Structure 1
Amino acid sequence: MTDDTATEEQFWDSRYGESDRIWSGNPNAVLVREISGLEPGSALDLGCGEGADAIWLAQRGWRVTATDISGVALGRAARHAAAEGVADRIDWQRHDLGTSFPAGTFALVSAQFLHSPGDMPREKILRSAASAVAPGGVLLVVGHAGYPSWEQNPDPRVHFPTPEEVLASLELPDGQWDVLLSDEHQRSQTGPDGRPTTRTDNALKIRRR
């Protein structure tokens, strides 16, 4: 394990350790919208955090492998799953996805807001994600399209890729995938000052033939 990896793990463990809950506890809206009509099967949730997406999927019949770099987040997610009665449907795994990746193939691979302030090889991880999609399965990638409006000192070196750039970075073989969704969208979000605002995100949904 490299020092960089330890630093990344420590960052996220510290972040999750700052409070009892960081995220809303609700599943991501694009996941709900895009996956609700699919037949439940095996799912891989990358960067699962406190487990809201994995729990939502498990409640709807999916068998979920959920992974995160933070052991603090995974422990919290497992407790939430037990409280919701779906602990037996979720396999929680700790991975630094840049160096290790869950084994197997899945009917759904979901990467929701897979961003990090550290040196995370996002393109490499998403290529591994595409490789983990079973024939007929779906890859859903949702990410930020830019900094939030309240960010005072955004780092100009940080690039938020468009859906088209994400698709190109996957380096998919010709004729083996169908693009089902590629767009930008706005969603409501409450800022640090408690005021409502909007944020622009993007989504890419593709199916392996």
Structure 2
Amino acid sequence: MHETAQNPEEFWEDFYREREQIWTGKVNPILVREVSELTPGTALDLGCGEGGDAIWLAQRGWRVTAVDVSATAMERGARHAAEAGVRIDWERHDLQQSFPDGTFDLVSAQFLHSPVERPDERAQILRRAANAVAPGGVLVIGAHAAAPTWAPSEMHDHVFPTIEQVLEQLDLAPQQWQVETSELIYTASTSPDGVEGERADSVLRVRRIQE
């Protein structure tokens, strides 16, 4: 199911250019749930898209670096951030090739799935995400656990990594990390055609132990 013939930049530029707006602009509920009670500091938003999560974080006092491979998506995000009156640092990276410098109190990877990457490439990106967490900081990974119940049968053939597999891929030293959230959540989901159903997502929050 991985369309590896097309590189990520081409794929996501084509994806965002299809319509004037792809996403709702609202923050991912998983991020709200896992971050609302944290003290704002520096944040890295990986795969920021059109900026919904980054803007929400900035509005709550986080100093945000937002990253995406699509220049079109980030241009939209920057425009929305200006309209919202918040400052965000925007960096374009193909995360398979490069990664932002520095460490952050929060690293967020929300639904960082791509049909043009192999599972080992996603695992490598998530390991780099963990390495970017400052002591005392957290990594929050929200991900699909299965296709929505209303999805076509071929989508159900795709196997998403389990939380246990993601933890194995991260290869976190137990003496340096604490798992704070590790669970599946089920929410109502409606198809583009109005078919009601359910979707399953995984939530993982790990904290680097303060040195």
Alignment check: 8 A CA contact 1:141 1:204 kept: yes
CA distance in 1, matches of 2:175, 2:151: 41
CA distance in 2, matches of 1:112, 1:24: 15
CA distance in 2, matches of 1:62, 1:111: 16
CA distance in 2, matches of 1:135, 1:126: 17
The aligned residue for residue 92 of structure 2 is 94
Alignment check: 8 A CA contact 1:17 1:72 kept: yes
Alignment check: 8 A CA contact 1:182 1:203 kept: yes
The aligned residue for residue 13 of structure 1 is 13
CA distance in 2, matches of 1:101, 1:62: 20
Alignment check: 8 A CA contact 1:143 1:202 kept: yes
Moved more, 17-26 or 91-100: 17-26
The aligned residue for residue 155 of structure 2 is 154
The aligned residue for residue 46 of structure 1 is 46
Residue 192 (structure 2) pairs with residue 198 (structure 1): no
State the superposition RMSD in angstroms: 1.5
SS at match of 2:147: coil
Normalising by the residue count of structure 2, what TM-score does the alignment of the two structures yield? 0.92
The aligned residue for residue 62 of structure 1 is 62
The aligned residue for residue 130 of structure 1 is 130
Normalising by the residue count of structure 1, what TM-score does the alignment of the two structures yield? 0.93
The aligned residue for residue 174 of structure 1 is 174
CA distance in 2, matches of 1:192, 1:37: 33
SS at match of 2:171: coil
Change in Cα spacing, 1:21 to 1:34, as seen in structure 2 (3 Å) is same
Show structure 1 runs of 4+ deviating over 3 A: none
Q: Could you tell me how far 1:149 is from its partner in structure 2?
A: 2.4
SS at match of 1:101: coil
SS at match of 2:7: helix
The aligned residue for residue 75 of structure 1 is 75
Q: Could you tell me how far 1:174 is from its partner in structure 2?
A: 2.7
Question: Of the two structures, which has the highest relative contact order with CA contacts closer than 8 Å and spacing of 6 or more?
Answer: 2
Residue 143 (structure 2) pairs with residue 143 (structure 1): yes
Q: Could you tell me how far 1:194 is from its partner in structure 2?
A: 2.4
Q: Could you tell me how far 1:42 is from its partner in structure 2?
A: 0.1
Identical residues among aligned pairs (%): 56
5+ residue gaps, structure 2: none
